[in-house]
């Protein structure tokens, strides 16, 4: 499964994921900076992706073929720490059984399916 990073994720996460053998794309590297959410959602509907974003609006979207992790990680944390948190969440996602497709991740790096934690919590 390919990982797609939203433009609001640091580019430094890309090589870290690739070092772990994960096929990874970043919207900025694809020349898609500023692309609308609707274009991203169309891609999520037709491809089998893991999409990481800080955009909480994706919590309110209808289900897609792809899985989505919405980061609630504190942006004031050092970038190295945030990258480690996201790596932990991604590893946890791939260790899970298939089925759940919408998650939130917080500062501890644990994934919470959105039927457990709501976006307004």
Query: What residues does each domain of the chain span?
Result: 2-113
Q: Which residue has the higher pLDDT, 5 or 38?
A: 5
Query: In the block, which residue shows the tokens 């969440």?
Result: 89
Q: 88-118: string of b/e by CB count within 10 Å (b at 16+)? A: ebbeebeeeeeeebbbbbbeebebbebeebe
Split at pLDDT 50, 70, 90, the class of 99 is confident
How far apart (Å, rounded) are the C-alpha atoms in residues 64 and 48? 9
DSSP annotation of 97: P
Split at pLDDT 50, 70, 90, the class of 79 is very high
The answer to whether the predicted template modeling score (pTM) of the entire model surpasses 0.85 is yes
pLDDT value at residue 98: 73
DSSP annotation of 120: T
Q: Span 46-57, mean pLDDT?
A: 94
Are 51 and 93 in contact by the 8 Å Cβ rule? The answer is: no
Cα separations in angstroms, 5 against 2, 25, 27, 58, 88: 10, 6, 6, 13, 15
Cα separations in angstroms, 93 against 5, 34, 61: 15, 27, 20
Is the confidence at residue 19, as pLDDT, over 80? yes
Candidate CATH numbers 2.60.40, 1.10.3470, 3.40.50, 2.40.50; the one for domain 2-113: 3.40.50
| Residues forming beta bridges with residue 52, ordered by sequence position | 5, 69
pLDDT value at residue 16: 97
């Amino acid at each position: 499964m390919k990982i797609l990073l939203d433009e609001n994720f640091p580019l430094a996460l890309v090589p870290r994921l690739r070092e772990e053998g994960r096929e990874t794309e970043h919207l900025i590297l694809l020349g898609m900076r500023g692309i609308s959410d609707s274009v991203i959602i169309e891609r999520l509907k037709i491809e089998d992706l893991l999409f990481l974003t800080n955009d909480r609006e994706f919590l309110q979207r209808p289900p897609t073929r792809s899985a989505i992790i919405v980061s609630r990680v504190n942006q004031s944390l050092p970038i190295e720490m945030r990258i480690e948190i996201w790596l932990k969440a991604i590893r946890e996602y791939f260790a899970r059984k298939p089925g759940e497709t919408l998650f939130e991740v917080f500062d501890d790096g644990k994934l919470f399916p959105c039927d457990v934690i709501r976006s307004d919590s």
